[in-house]
């Protein structure tokens, strides 16, 4: 399962390409496996794309993993109380 590295900047402008990539992954029937170690900035737009992707993966019965989140990413996920919504499955 290829690991998809998340970009350093996950601000609002990054939400659209991220969504596009995740839809493509799911459409290929692949599990989503993300590497969050390089994320320096993150905002609501990308977090909700990730949460929607996780829900979609659950619905399709494929895996979802967000590994090695950077401090910045981890902080924002915790701050927004999205730990469950971005938790791994499968």
Partner 1 sequence: MNFDEIQQIFFQECEEGLATMEGNFAAVRQGAYDTETINTIFRSVHSIKGGAGAFGHERLQAFTHEYETLLDLVRNGTLVLTPALLGTIVSAFDMLSDHVAAARDGGTPPADGAMLARLIEAAHAPEPQAAQDTVTEAATVSTGAVGNDFDDLFEICAPAPSTGDGDGGDDGFDDLFALCETPATDETGDGWHITLVPGPTALDHGGEPLLLLRELAALGAEVTSCDLGNLPTLSDLHPERAYLGWTLTAPSSVAEDDIRAVFEFMGDVDLRIVRGANAEDEAPEALPIANAPEAASAPMTDTLPPSSAPQPVKAAASPDPAATVLPPEAAAPRTAAAAVQTIRVDLDKLDRLVNLVGELVITQAMLAQRLSEHQLGGISELTDLDHLTRELQESTMAIRAQPMKTVFSRVPRIIRELEVETGKRVRLDIEGEMTEVDKTVVERIGEPLTHLIRNAVDHGLETPAERLAAGKPEEGVVTLSAAHHSGRIVITVADDGRGIDRKRVRAKAVERGIIAADAILTEEEIDNLIFAPGFSTASTVSNISGRGVGMDVVRKNVQALGGRIGISSQLGHGSSFALSLPLTLAVLDGMIVTVGEQTFVIPLGHIVESLRPDDDAVKSLGATASLLDVRGSYVPVHRIAEQLGIAGAIADPTQAVLIVVESDHGQAVLMVDSIQDQRQVVVKSLEANYEAIHGLAGATILGDGRVALILDVDALISRWRRDPRHGAPQLELAA
Interface with partner 1 by CB under 8 A: which residues? Answer: 11-12, 15-16, 18-19, 22-23, 26, 40-41, 43-45, 47-49, 51-56, 58-59, 65-69, 71-72, 74-89
Q: Give whichever of 31 and 69 is closer to partner 1, judged by the CB atom.
A: 69
Residues in the chain: 90
Q: Residue 82 Cβ, how far from partner 1 at the closest point, in Å?
A: 6
Q: How many C-beta neighbours within 10 Å does residue 45 have?
A: 16
Least distance (Å) between residue 7 CB and partner 1: 13
Q: Is 7 exposed, middle or buried (0-12, 13-18, 19+ CB in 10 A)?
A: middle
Quick one: 31 or 77, whose CB is closer to partner 1?
Answer: 77
Q: Which is nearer to partner 1, 30 or 58 (CB)?
A: 58
- Nearer to partner 1 by Cβ, of 4 and 45: the residue is 45
Task: Give me 41's structure tokens.
Answer: 């900035």
Measured CA to CA in angstroms, residue 68 lies from 20, 24, 28, 83 at distances of 22, 23, 24, 14
């Amino acid at each position: 399962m290829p690991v998809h590295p998340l970009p350093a900047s996950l601000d609002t402008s990054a939400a659209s390409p991220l969504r596009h990539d995740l839809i493509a992954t799911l459409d290929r029937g692949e599990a989503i496996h993300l590497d969050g170690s390089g994320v320096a900035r993150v905002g609501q737009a990308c977090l909700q794309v990730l949460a929607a992707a996780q829900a979609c993966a659950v619905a399709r019965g494929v895996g979802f993993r967000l590994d090695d989140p950077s401090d910045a990413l981890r902080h924002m996920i915790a701050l927004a109380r999205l730990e469950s919504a971005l938790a791994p499955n499968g």
